[in-house]
């Protein structure tokens, strides 16, 4: 079960994919929001809440790997699941090395995608909150 405030963010330049995935997640009881290009998503990313990202590898403005790197540079810790028709072993390895939690090749079975998303949402829910406060190190004198 997904946390009630979680959203699946979908970045894919194919409107039919965005519509189909949004419908799938809504039927599964999860809010979904789609973006047709990387920049549109990245412009909104700092203001987005809890959730996970379904990210196409090939986009017209930036690659999925570049989006993943931009999120990391901005300190946005959103679990990323790649969803692509152009996956190779080396791209898969790069994605996971950069912190992706999933890499699924199109077409993917609905249940496999839902399972990956629910795992990513649970991971996001359990992530420690960044309060901006770093407690002092404990020493023997504390």
79: its two tokens: 């679990």
Asked if 102 and 122 touch (Cβ cutoff 8 Å), the reply is: no
User: What is the model's pLDDT at position 3?
Assistant: 72
User: What is the model's pLDDT at position 5?
Assistant: 86
∠ CA 25-27-32, nearest 5°, is 30
Asked if 40 and 13 touch (Cβ cutoff 8 Å), the reply is: no
Cβ atoms within 10 Å of 85's Cβ, excluding its own: 12
* 5-21 per-position pLDDT tens digit: 899 999 999 999 999 99
The CATH class that applies to domain 7-126 reads: alpha beta
22: its two tokens: 């949004």
Asked if 99 and 72 touch (Cβ cutoff 8 Å), the reply is: yes
Q: Is 0.95 surpassed by the pTM of this model?
A: no
Express as a percent the part of the chain with pLDDT over 90: 77
Local confidence band at 87 (pLDDT 50, 70, 90 cut-offs): confident
Please state the rounded mean pLDDT for residues 60-73: 97
Asked if 65 and 94 touch (Cβ cutoff 8 Å), the reply is: yes
* β-sheet bridge partners, residue 132: none
Q: Where are the domains of the chain?
A: 7-126
Q: Which residue has the higher pLDDT, 47 or 128?
A: 47
Rounded to whole angstroms, how far apart are CA atoms 140 and 118?
42
Rounded to whole angstroms, how far apart are CA atoms 46 and 30?
20
User: What is the model's pLDDT at position 62?
Assistant: 97
User: What is the model's pLDDT at position 88?
Assistant: 80
């Amino acid at each position: 079960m997904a946390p009630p405030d979680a959203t699946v963010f979908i970045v894919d330049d194919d409107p039919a994919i965005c519509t189909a995935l949004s419908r799938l997640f809504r039927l599964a009881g999860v809010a979904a929001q789609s973006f047709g290009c990387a920049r549109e998503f990245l412009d909104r990313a700092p203001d987005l809440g809890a959730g996970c990202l379904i990210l196409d590898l090939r986009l017209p403005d930036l690659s999925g790997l570049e989006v993943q790197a931009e999120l990391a540079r901005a300190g946005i810790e959103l679990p990323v699941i790649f969803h692509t028709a152009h996956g190779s072993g080396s791209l898969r390895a790069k994605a996971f090395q950069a912190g992706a939690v999933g890499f699924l090749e199109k077409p993917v079975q609905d249940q496999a995608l839902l399972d990956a998303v629910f795992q990513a949402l649970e991971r996001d829910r359990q992530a420690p909150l960044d309060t901006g406060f770093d407690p002092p190190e404990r020493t023997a004198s504390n």
